[in-house]
Each structure stands twice: as C-alpha cells, then as structure tokens.
Amino acid sequence: MEVKLSLDFKGLLCPLPVVKLAQTIKQVEIGELVEAVATDPGVMADIPAWTRSTGNELVTLEKRDDKTFRFVVKRLK
Amino acid sequence: MTAQVELALNTLEAQLNQPLETALEACARCGLCAEACHYYRAQPSVEHIPAFRAEQLRSVYRYERDFLSRLFPFWTGAKKLDEKTLLHLTEIAFSQCTLCRRCTINCPLGVDTPLLMRAVRAMTTAAGTAPEILVMLADAAIEKGADPSFFKELFLEQIREIEEQLRNITGDPNATIPVEKQGARVLYVPLAGVHTILPPAIVFNAAKEDWTLSIFEAANYGVFLGDVNRAKQVAKRIVDEANRLGVQEIVIAECGHAYASYRWDVPNWFPGQFHFKVRSMIEVLADYLREGRIQVDPNFITEPVTYHDSCNLARNSGLIEEPRFVLKHIVKDFREMTPNKAEALCCGGGGGLVALAEYTERRIQAGRPKAEQIQKTGARLVVAACENCRLQIGDLNERYGLNVHITALTDLVVRAMRLPKPLPGTEAEHLFEGQKEMVELDPPAH
C-alpha cells in the first residue's frame, strides 16, 4: 500500500516524534499510511504505545543499519 | 447545562479542599503578582496578571457557591459556566500559565494561583477540551505500564547497544546498565531516549553505585493535565517497579515536573506503598562529588557559564545549592542570572507547553524575559537540569539570537570526568554537541 506522507524526525528527542506524528497524521485520510524516520531509540517504545492507546495501527517498526528507526502507521481514527 | 459543562463543574466540586478554597477566596487584588509573572513581564496587559487569570475561575466558583451571586451575578462579578467560558478557561490554563508558582511566593497572602490553574486543567480535561496531545501522551504512558511486553524486548536491545557505547567511552569493559536488577539500592528513572540514560550510566558506574535502570520514563503528562487519576496510573508503573525490585531509593532524571511530582505528590497518592527516598540526579551528582566518588577536572570549563533554575526543581523543591555546588567543581567562570534561585524567572517552557505546538508563538514570547536574563550574563553555556527548560531555552536561543550552548548538568559533569576514550558514535556526538566548541578550545588530556 502506498505511503501518503513521509516525515523526518531525525534529531528529535522523545516525546517529540509522537507529538509531531499525532499532529501530522491528521493530514492523511483514515486508512492511509504515514511513514517516519527517527534517531531517538525512544520511538521503539513510544510509537507502539501511542498506536495502541489511540487505536491507530502500527504497520511496521524497524531499526535500520544507519542507526535510524523507520516506522509506518496506518491512520484508523 | 450541557454534559461538558456539568463534567467540568463536577470536577471542580470534587477537587474542593481547604487549599483550593483558600486560593479561591483569598485574593486582595493588590496586583503584586503582575510583575512576578513572566507572561506579564513579556507583555504587560491585564489578561497576563495572575490574579486576572484566577478571577476567571473565581467568578464561576462564586456563581456556583454563593446564593447572592447566583441571584445577582452582575453585583459580584459572578459568571455561569458555559461552553464558551470553558474554552476560554482552557486557553488560559494551558497557554498563559506554566504553573511556575513565582506569583505565589510573591503574593502577600500566598495565594496559589497555579493551584487554581491546575484545577481548571483538571476541569477541562474531564470536559474534553484540554489539549489532545497531552491526553495522548498520558494515555500512551499508561498503555506502556499496562503491558510492557510489547516494547521490553526492543528496549533491552537498545540498552545493550548503549552499554557498548558506555564501555567504549569509559574504557571499562565491565561497565554495565543493569535493568530490573532485583535488590539494587537505586532505581534510576530516565526520560525517553539515550540522552538521559548514557551520561547517568557513566556516573553510576564511576561511583560504583548499586543501581538499576527503570524500563519506564519519568515524565508524567497526567500531571500537566491536572488529572490525578491519569497521573496516578502513570506513576504507579514506577512505584510498582520499585516495590517489585525492592530498591531503597528512586533517582529521577534531570526533569523538573517529574522530580516534583515523585518528591511531593506520588508518596501521597500511594500511602503504605511508597517506602523510598526520592532524589534528583543533580542531588546525586552533588553527593558523589562531596563523597569523592567521582573525579572531575576543576579547570574543565573556562568559558562563562550560567545556570537556569527550573521552577519545579528550585522554587518548588528547594534544589538550589546542589547544582551550584556541582558547577563550582567544573566551571571557572560561573555567572548568576538576576533574579535567580527561588526567585528565578520561568523560561516559559513548563506546564507541558513545550509539547503544545498550537501555543509555540505565545511560549516563545513569554520566554523573552528569560532570554534577556541569559544575554545579560554574557555566558556561552547555559546549564539547565530540566528537559522542558532545555527545549525552551533552545528555542529562545534560536529566536533571540543568544548564541549560547545549552546542556544538562550530568552531561557537563561527564565531560569534566575526562573519560579515557573519545566519545564514539553519532548518538554520543549528538549528545555532547553543545560542548563541542569548548572541547576544541580545551581538549582532554588524552
């Protein structure tokens, strides 16, 4: 499925990636995907917790070789 | 009356106790609180006087509680709460007050206006008009506590990587970051992210502390919401963890609201379950230096340095001399801002405002008096022992062209420990970016 919005959270410390994601996800329609890349390892816990508590779907969350973290979230709410 | 308004009023009613009723009744309208407030100093207008903000809630309270005010509201300035007023109260409580309590200590009657603003925050949270992002962050933290299994494996993997960095930096192959260590003396609670884990880990290892790292973060967005129920659920994660591990002490990362809440509120929320001493990382640093448990280079920084007193740490918790004691060990040219210590001006980033993008401009405007204070010191480095303060001062630095570096106290102490190896990896470089220039001016002996 096509990613509708790509975000760069590199250099942002938690919880700012969650804050920015929560704000920007409203720019896509329900059912669409948002992708982001972050450098703070805190996203490995914070993003899954945020999707769980808000009812959105975490499609993927991966650590990459360049020490960044990429995640894709499907907007469901 | 709408359901929203009813929820707000019920929440006000439920919160009423002696301190809150005193704050609602006691204002003499002298206006001395005006100059105490950084919002008023930045923009001297009536709506920025703390007593004016408080009056917005008092007028609603009078209408609800005073028979005469209900019959003749125009006589007493009483106001019936409606949805429009609720939104106005929301705006005031979340964007025009950082709960710094400088107005309180400058009030001849000691009126606790931030207590009123907290009450409003609780009312608006119950009514559903509080900023959505703060509710989301509090709920996400609660979710992490409900089922840590969904992130624990990834968290532990990260910690092992940070541990590798720790060993590289210190040159100590046995340096560790223990997690869930049963019977450890200290439970250290970081904020999310490596920047509040690695430097304290270096310090704890150097001091040979018997410690363990919490799997949760110290920040509590329920506190910002004034929502005791959410705040309790967030705090319970740490209280349960501390009890499960049998620790004697909880050490909180450099974070103003987290320290203040664990020091003053949380023990009252969990009577009979809170058997721990609570210290801030800055107290730990001071004690380790006092006891000779860590060694630092007294000539580490010759550039002028100033210290920003976090409202929650200094004014509201009394941690005033500890950071100065630490700085005296590593800084040659320390310059105080004026006013400082308990009378320090708020930077404008407290109360959760840093997380609220909709109020960014207002926050930066309200921080102008702090920016001017920093500028007057001539310092090149600003030390702040609170994450929200550092973020705010970073924004002020950019907006007002202060040309300063901003750092946490622990980071600075770690630099002054003259570690045997250079800092490796992108994360560590990022961590110490603020001191890069000074390190170049004054390179480590190795």
B193 contacts in A (CB within 8 Å)? 13-14, 40-42
**Least CB–CB distance from B133: residue in A11, A19, A45:** A19
Backbone angles phi, psi at B249, to 5 degrees: -145, 145
Whether residue B426 and residue A39 make contact (CB cut-off 8 A), yes or no, is yes
A45 contacts in B (CB within 8 Å)? 144, 151, 154-155, 192
Q: What percent of chain B has pLDDT over 70?
A: 94
Label residue A36 by pLDDT band (50, 70, 90). very high
d(CA A68, CA A50): 19
Q: Residue B389 CB: number of other CB atoms within 10 A?
A: 31
Whether chain A has a CB inside 8 Å of the CB on B217: the answer is: yes
Run of H or E including A34 = strand A33-38
Whether chain A has a CB inside 8 Å of the CB on B411: the answer is: no
Six-digit token string for B282 = 């800055």
Which of A3, A4, A5, A14 is catalytic? The answer is A14
A67 contacts in B (CB within 8 Å)? 425-427
Q: Which of B357, B387, B353, B355 is nearest to B367 (CA)?
A: B353
The residue ranges of every structural domain in chain B are 3-130, 135-288, 295-441
pLDDT at B445 over 60: no
Whether chain A has a CB inside 8 Å of the CB on B355: the answer is: yes
Q: What angle do CA B99, B101, B106 make, to 5 degrees?
A: 150
A39 contacts in B (CB within 8 Å)? 426-427, 430
Whether the domain at B3-130 and the domain at B295-441 fall into the same CATH topology = no
The pLDDT mean for chain B works out to: 92
**Least CB–CB distance from A19: residue in B194, B217, B355:** B355
Q: Which of B129, B61, B126 is nearest to B94 (CA)?
A: B129
Q: Are B116 and B57 in contact (CB under 8 A)?
A: yes
B430 contacts in A (CB within 8 Å)? 11, 39
- pTM to 2 decimal places: 0.92
CA distance B426 to chain A (A): 9
Residue to substitute from A19, A47, A64, interface B, most B β-carbons within 10 A: A19
For chains A and B, what is the number of CB pairs under 8 angstroms?
78
Residue that is written with structure tokens 């009483």 in the block: B78
pLDDT tens, position by position, B304-338? 999 999 999 999 999 999 999 999 999 999 999 99
Q: Are B68 and B399 in contact (CB under 8 A)?
A: no
Q: Are strands B405-407 and B381-384 parallel, antiparallel or unpaired?
A: parallel
Whether chain A has a CB inside 8 Å of the CB on B156: the answer is: no
Q: Check if CATH label 3.40.50 holds for domain B295-441.
A: yes
pLDDT at B426 over 50: no
Whether residue A15 and residue B154 make contact (CB cut-off 8 A), yes or no, is no
Q: Are A50 and A21 in contact (CB under 8 A)?
A: yes
d(CA B153, CA B56): 49
**Span A12-33, mean pLDDT?**
91
pLDDT at B159 over 60: yes
Residue to substitute from B134, B135, B152, B158, interface A, most A β-carbons within 10 A: B158
B357 contacts in A (CB within 8 Å)? 19, 23
CA distance A10 to chain B (A): 11
Six-digit token string for B27 = 């204002």
A13: annotated active-site residue: no
Which class is B3-130 in CATH? mainly alpha
pLDDT at B127 over 60: yes
Q: Are strands A69-74 and A33-38 parallel, antiparallel or unpaired?
A: antiparallel
pLDDT at B429 over 60: no
Label residue B421 by pLDDT band (50, 70, 90). low
Whether chain A has a CB inside 8 Å of the CB on B346: the answer is: no
In chain A, what are the domains?
A: 3-74 (3.30.110.40)
Q: Are B35 and B364 in contact (CB under 8 A)?
A: no
pLDDT tens, position by position, A41-73? 888 888 999 999 999 999 999 988 888 999 999
Whether residue A50 and residue B141 make contact (CB cut-off 8 A), yes or no, is no
The pLDDT value given to residue A42 = 85
The pLDDT value given to residue B30 = 95
**Least CB–CB distance from B193: residue in A42, A49, A50:** A42
pLDDT at B427 over 80: no
Q: Which of B415, B406, B424 is nearest to B445 (CA)?
A: B415
Listing from the earlier edge strand, what are the strands of the sheet with B381-384? B331-334, B301-308, B381-384, B405-407
**Least CB–CB distance from A49: residue in B151, B191, B357:** B151
Whether chain A has a CB inside 8 Å of the CB on B132: the answer is: yes
**Span B221-233, mean pLDDT?**
97
